[in-house]
Amino acid sequence: MMLRSFAGAAIVLAATMSVPCVASDQRLLVLEGAWVKWGAPKWSAGATVTYGFATTDVKSPTARNCATLRPLDGLEKQAGLADNRVRAEAAAAFAAWSKAANLTFIETPNAAQADILIGAQGNPKGRAFTNIELDSGPLASAPATERGLVAGAEPTEPPAKAHSVRTIRQALICLNPRAKWKIGFDGDLDVYDLRYTFMHEIGHAIGLDHPGAAGALMGFRYDEKLKGPTLSDGDAARKLYGPHAE
Ligand SMILES: [Zn+2]
């Protein structure tokens, strides 16, 4: 019941504040009327999640922007980045979330079986997206998961109400292979850093939403001020998974 009243409070805040709102519910994704997470559908319950990279084309017809996932080769070639460096950035991004909450990520070579599958978009669009499929029901596209919306283009969807916690079955993270990518920050906000992008999209893939434009890794605007999840990003992850276990 307490959570429901938080949901009500979040809506009031959203209606009356023009600054990014950090009410707790808005940091968590709500899909089909439920908060979503890996593992047990309970608050503060840790999870082990596998991830992999598409090795062949993977079709998910009900996904919006990740409907076709291709191997990252095209992105690597276009960006002039070696395969192992791109994967190392993804691994570092997963590690950042492991440190923030009770989440263990294991890379699997069997991409078809991966809980979180990463690839390049078959139909390049935007920069990066995350799609989440729940344990039952159709693939639910995470609201406003596009990275780096231009200033002012705030997601228009109102905070959704949730009444339960559901388990994620699979998440797809797709990157635009025609966009420019880089490793490391250099102040050029038109070219996104891969690790930052992976960290942000993984945040969606574990059940987090945008708390606002900036000031958090999960802010929807790309910037180069943060090197990892902030305290508030971590708090959201810990709400779902509990604290990092040593
Ligand atoms: Zn996002």
Q: Residue 205 Cα, ligand 1 centroid: separation in angstroms?
A: 10
Q: Residue 103 Cα, ligand 1 centroid: separation in angstroms?
A: 20
Q: Residue 14 Cα, ligand 1 centroid: separation in angstroms?
A: 18
Contact call for residues 206 and 49 (beta carbons, < 8 A) = yes
174 φ/ψ angles, rounded to the nearest 5 degrees: -125, 135
Answer with the residue of higher pLDDT: 176 or 160.
Answer: 176
- CA 242-245-246 angle, to 5 degrees, is 160
* pLDDT attached to residue 16: 30
Q: Residue 30 Cα, ligand 1 centroid: separation in angstroms?
A: 13
* pLDDT above 70: residue 2: no
Q: Residue 224 Cα, ligand 1 centroid: separation in angstroms?
A: 15
Q: Which of helix, strand or coil describes residue 51?
A: strand
Q: Residue 145 Cα, ligand 1 centroid: separation in angstroms?
A: 4
Banded pLDDT at 135 (limits 50, 70, 90): confident
Answer with the residue of higher pLDDT: 231 or 164.
Answer: 231
Task: Please tell me the distance from the alpha carbon of residue 118 to that of residue 78, in angstroms, as a whole number.
Answer: 17
Banded pLDDT at 138 (limits 50, 70, 90): low
73-86 pLDDT per residue, tens: 988 888 899 999 99
What Cα–Cα distance (Å) separates residue 208 from each residue in 75, 76, 222?
Answer: 26, 27, 16
Q: Residue 210 Cα, ligand 1 centroid: separation in angstroms?
A: 6
Banded pLDDT at 168 (limits 50, 70, 90): very high
Which of 9-18, 166-175, 221-230 bottoms out in mean pLDDT, i.e. has the lowest?
A: 9-18
Q: Residue 201 Cα, ligand 1 centroid: separation in angstroms?
A: 6
Of 12-16, 118-122, 141-145, 209-213, which one has max mean pLDDT? 118-122
pTM of the model: 0.84
Q: Residue 152 Cα, ligand 1 centroid: separation in angstroms?
A: 15
Task: Please tell me the distance from the alpha carbon of residue 38 to that of residue 94, in angstroms, as a whole number.
Answer: 14
Domains and CATH numbers, the chain: 2-229 (3.40.390.10)
- According to DSSP, residue 220 is labeled S
* pLDDT attached to residue 213: 84
Answer with the residue of higher pLDDT: 132 or 9.
Answer: 132
* pLDDT attached to residue 10: 31
* H helical segments located in the chain: 2-16, 73-79, 83-100, 194-205, 231-241
Contact call for residues 176 and 128 (beta carbons, < 8 A) = yes
* pLDDT attached to residue 151: 35
Q: Which of helix, strand or coil describes residue 31?
A: strand
Neighbours of ion ligand 1 (CB under 5 A): 145
> What are residue 53's DSSP bridge partners?
118
Q: Residue 81 Cα, ligand 1 centroid: separation in angstroms?
A: 23
Q: Residue 200 Cα, ligand 1 centroid: separation in angstroms?
A: 6
Q: Residue 7 Cα, ligand 1 centroid: separation in angstroms?
A: 20
Q: Residue 217 Cα, ligand 1 centroid: separation in angstroms?
A: 9
65 φ/ψ angles, rounded to the nearest 5 degrees: -105, -10
* pLDDT above 70: residue 19: no
